[in-house]
Amino acid sequence: MKKLTIIFALILCSSLSFGQQAGKFRFGMDLGPAIPQGGGIGVLLNLEPKINLANNLNFGLRMGIAGLAKDVTYYDISEDYEGEVSANASVGGTLDYYFNNGGSNFAPFIGAGFGYYALSAVEIDASAIDNSDTGDLEATFEWAPMVRAGLELGKFRMGAEYNFVPNSNLQDTSGQVIGEAINQYFGFTLGFYVGGGRWRGI
Specify the higher pLDDT residue, 173 or 111.
111
Tell me the percentage of the chain whose pLDDT exceeds 90.
45
The pLDDT of residue 12 is 36
The pLDDT of residue 133 is 47
Least confident of 19-28, 125-134, 191-200: 125-134
The pLDDT of residue 140 is 82
pLDDT exceeds 60 at position 199: no
The pLDDT of residue 111 is 98
CATH topology classification for 28-195: Porin (2.40.160)
Digit-coded pLDDT (tens) for 66-95: 998 876 777 776 554 555 566 789 999 999
Averaged confidence pLDDT in the chain: 79
Q: What is the 3-state secondary structure (H, E, C) of the chain?
A: CHHHHHHHHHHHHHHHCCCCCCCCEEEEEEEEEEEECCCEEEEEEEEEEEEEEECCEEEEEEEEEEEEEECEEECCCCCCCCEEECEEEEEEEEEEEECCCCCCCEEEEEEEEEEEEEECCEEECCCCCCHHHCCCCCCEEEEEEEEEEEEEECCEEEEEEEECCCCEEEECCCCCEEEEECCCEEEEEEEEEEECCCCCCC
Instruction: Determine the Cα–Cα distance for residues 105 and 20; give it in Å rounded to an integer.
Output: 10
Specify the higher pLDDT residue, 56 or 136.
56
Digit-coded pLDDT (tens) for 150-180: 999 988 999 999 999 998 877 766 667 777 8
